[in-house]
Amino acid sequence: MWYIFILLYVVGVVVGVFSQLGSIETTLQVLEPITLTALVAYLLVPFAGFSNKEGWQKFSLQYAIVPLFGIYTVVIWRTGSVVGLLLLISASIVHLGYWMSSLHSRGYRLELFRMIPNKPAEVVEQVAKLCLDGRSDEADDIIKEFIRNL
């Protein structure tokens, strides 16, 4: 889904380029509390927790904030801050890495797995060993398959 991130980032850059710097800065100042709330909310939501009927909500949480990073890029570019641009790039990479991971979804499914009584000991041991070895993606595949076969 890299193309969606890139597309929405470019949308933000285009909007930033065609907007007056003063109006962008004022808007960003006014919306800063809402933006921070949205970013924090994003951190708390496992995407696997969304139902199939909540597609627009999942899409919105994953992608709606991305154009803002494009706008930030333009603002920082126009104000000439190389340090600011470097910080923006660093923060954007961290956010992108987090957004592209399925960390919360794996945790959500692991919690579901833990709630199931009388699991076969060999499955529990296999999942635990994989998680311990940093292979949580493989453990998650086993958990998904196990839950589907209930």
Give one DSSP letter per residue of 43-89, joined into a string.
HH--GGGS-TT-HHHHHHHHHTTHHHHHHHHHHHHHHT-HHHHHHHH
**Residue 46 confidence (pLDDT):** 66
**Is residue 71 within 8 Å of residue 63, measured between CB atoms?**
no
Query: Is residue 98 over pLDDT 90?
Result: no
Q: What is the spatial distance between Cα 42 and Cα 101, in angstroms, rounded to a whole number?
A: 12
- Better-scored residue on pLDDT, 9 or 50: 9
Most confident of 28-37, 82-91, 131-140: 131-140
Percent of the chain at pLDDT > 90 equals 31
**Is residue 74 within 8 Å of residue 13, measured between CB atoms?**
yes
DSSP state of 133: T
**pTM of the complete model:** 0.66
Q: What's the whole-number mean pLDDT along residues 77-81?
A: 81
**Residue 106 confidence (pLDDT):** 85
Query: Is residue 10 over pLDDT 90?
Result: yes
Query: Is residue 48 over pLDDT 70?
Result: no
Query: Is residue 17 over pLDDT 90?
Result: yes
